Amino acid sequence: MKDNNAQKISDLNGLGPKSQDMLERAGLMTVEQLKSMGSNAAFVKTRESNNNVSLNLLWALESALTGEKWHVIAKIIVPGYYWHLRNMKRHSTMVSK
């Protein structure tokens, strides 16, 4: 049963229409879904369902969920993190085969 009172992703600060569309294509419709998955898993799931998803989405997701400014988060997430996420996806694909 659908929860009509669920907080919509559009209610969060920092996630514009393009980000919301990408999240929706990944099946992420509510703030509760994002909170339960966390920004990392939501980012990976969104990358699997969309083309051209940049690291900016990860920063925006973390910012929206924590209230921290995205530019502070961007400094914390080192460039090697993107490499880690990409390899994490490759590993999960190899394990599932």
Residue 1 lies in a domain: no
- Residue 50: strand, helix, or coil: coil
Tokens representing residue 37 in the block:
């998955």
The CATH code of the domain that includes 35 is 1.10.150.20
- Total-model pTM: 0.73
Beta-carbon count within 10 A of 96 CB: 6
Residue 19 lies in a domain: yes
- Measure Cα distances from 78 to 21, 52, 65, 75, 83 in Å: 26, 20, 19, 7, 10
Domains contained in the chain, number: 1
pLDDT band at 96 (very low <50, low <70, confident <90, very high): very low
Residue 82 lies in a domain: yes
Domain of 39?
9-96
Q: Is 31 or 84 the better-scoring residue by pLDDT?
A: 31
Residue 17 lies in a domain: yes
